[in-house]
Amino acid sequence: MNDDSLMDRMFRTFDHDSDGYLTCNEWLTGLWIFLKGNVTEQTTYCFQVYDIDGDGYLSKSDLFQLLKSSLRPAIAKAMPFGQRGGGPTAAVMGNNEDDPDEGPRDLSEMALSLLDRDLDGRVSLEDFLQSVQNDYLLMEILGSCLPSGARAAAVLAALSGNGTLPISVPPPTA
Ligand SMILES: [Ca+2]
Ligand SMILES: [Ca+2]
C-alpha cells in the first residue's frame, strides 16, 4: 500500500460517519487513539485501516492488496542494481515473470496463517487482537499506520506547553 492510499485509509478510519469530513470530535478521538491509545485501541485502529473493503474482516484479498503495494517499493529500494531480478530477495517477492503476483500472494497466505487464530480463513478483530497480544510486532505487519513513540511525543509536546492537552479530549469510542 503506498503512502497516499494508506493516508486515505487512515482518514476513513477517523471519519466514523463516512461523510467525507472530520468533525472536531472525530478528529480528536482519532488523534487521541493515534497518539496516546492503549494497545487494544491502537490494534483496533490498525485493523480498521487494514480492512480495505470495510466488511469487518481481513480477508485474503485485503491482505494481498496491502502486501502487494507496500512491499514492492520497499524491496525495490533496498535491492542494489546488480541484484535486481535475482537472489533471495527476488525469491521472496516472486520472480516469476508469468505471475508477478506470486510473491505477494504467498506472503498474504503466510500472514493469514499467522493471524487467523480460529482457522476460519479470515482474520476477525478478535483474531488480530489475540495475535498482537502474543507479539506486538504484528500490530503493523501489514503497513505502518502509527507514528513512532518519538514522533507521537513530539506532536503531543507541540499540542501542549505543559504536558496536558489544551482542550479536553473525549474518551475514545472504539
Ligand atoms: Ca475486509
Ligand atoms: Ca479467523
In a domain, residue 173? The reply is no
Q: Which ligand is nearest to the CA of 57?
A: 1
What is the per-residue DSSP string for 35-93? Answer: HH--HHHHHHHHHHHH-TT-SSSB-HHHHHHHHHHHHHHHHHHHS-GGGTT-HHHHHHH
Residue 24 resides in a domain = yes
pLDDT confidence of residue 96: 57
What is the domain count for the chain? 1
Place of cell 503495494: 69
Cβ partners under 8 Å of residue 81, min gap 6:
none
Q: Is residue 103 part of a domain?
A: yes
- Please report the pLDDT score of residue 152 as a whole number: 83
* Distance in Å, CA 73 to ligand 2 centroid: 29
Q: Domain span at residue 62?
A: 3-159
CA angle 165, 27, 6 (to 5 degrees): 120
- CA-based nearest residue to 47, from 139, 133, 173: 139
- Please give the mean pLDDT across all residues of the chain: 81
Q: What is the mean pLDDT of residues 118-123?
A: 97
Render pLDDT for 29-59 as a digit per residue (tens, 0 to 9). 988 898 889 999 999 999 999 999 999 999 9
* Residue 98 · residue 112 · CB < 8 Å: no
pTM of the model: 0.73
50 found inside a domain: yes
**169 found inside a domain:** no
Rounded average pLDDT over 19-35:
90
CA of residue 120 to ligand 1 center, whole Å:
14
pLDDT attached to residue 145: 85
The pLDDT assigned to 124 comes to 98
Residue 170 resides in a domain: no
Per-residue pLDDT at 82 exceeds 50: no
What percent of the chain shows pLDDT beyond 90?
40
**Higher-confidence residue: 18 or 151?**
18
Neighbours of ion ligand 1 (CB under 5 A): 51, 53, 55, 57, 59, 62
| 132 close to 43: Cβ distance less than 8 angstroms | yes
pLDDT of amino acid 58: 97
pLDDT at 85 over 60: no
Rounded CA-CA distance 49/144 in Å is 10
Ligand number nearest to the C-alpha of 56: 1
- Specify the higher pLDDT residue, 130 or 142: 130
Each residue's pLDDT tens digit, 139-167: 998 888 888 888 888 888 887 765 455 45
Distance CA 55, CA 150 (A): 33
In a domain, 166, yes or no: no
CATH of the domain at 151: 1.10.238.10
Give the range among 24-38, 55-69, 72-86, 125-139 with minimum mean pLDDT: 72-86
Nearest ligand to the CA atom of 58:
1
97 within some domain: yes
